[in-house]
Amino acid sequence: MSLVFPKIVRMLPQADIGIPSAHLFVSQSSDHQIVFMEFEEDLDLSEHTHESQWEYVIQGKVDLTVEGKTKTYQKGDSFFIPKGYVHSGKIYAGYASIAFFDQKDRYLIK
């Protein structure tokens, strides 16, 4: 279970993404979501698009490919993905981040 985020975050509603080793805690607004994410196992993300996303890496690393360019982000890094940009990636076990999605329904709640 969650080791990175304190109880106040772990008490938020969780996103329903169908991956038992991923824990996504959602702070919901009327026009955006802030998502606290933790991953216990490696995860390959297939290509997809959505509204704008800004993310800050708390621990671990992710290889992110945006519009064909790949970069690795680690603890202390942040990245921005503009609306509609095609992206994919590899999240490594132990990854944790806080992400802002300029979209009220990026993730459904369990």
- Its pTM stands at 0.93
Return the CATH number of the domain spanning residue range 7-101.
2.60.120.10
pLDDT digits (tens, 9 = 90+) for 24-64: 999 999 999 999 999 999 999 999 999 999 999 999 999 99
Does residue 2 have a pLDDT over 70? no
Does residue 74 have a pLDDT over 60? yes
User: What average pLDDT does this structure show over 78-98?
Assistant: 97
Burial class (CB in 10 A: 0-12, 13-18, 19+), 48: exposed
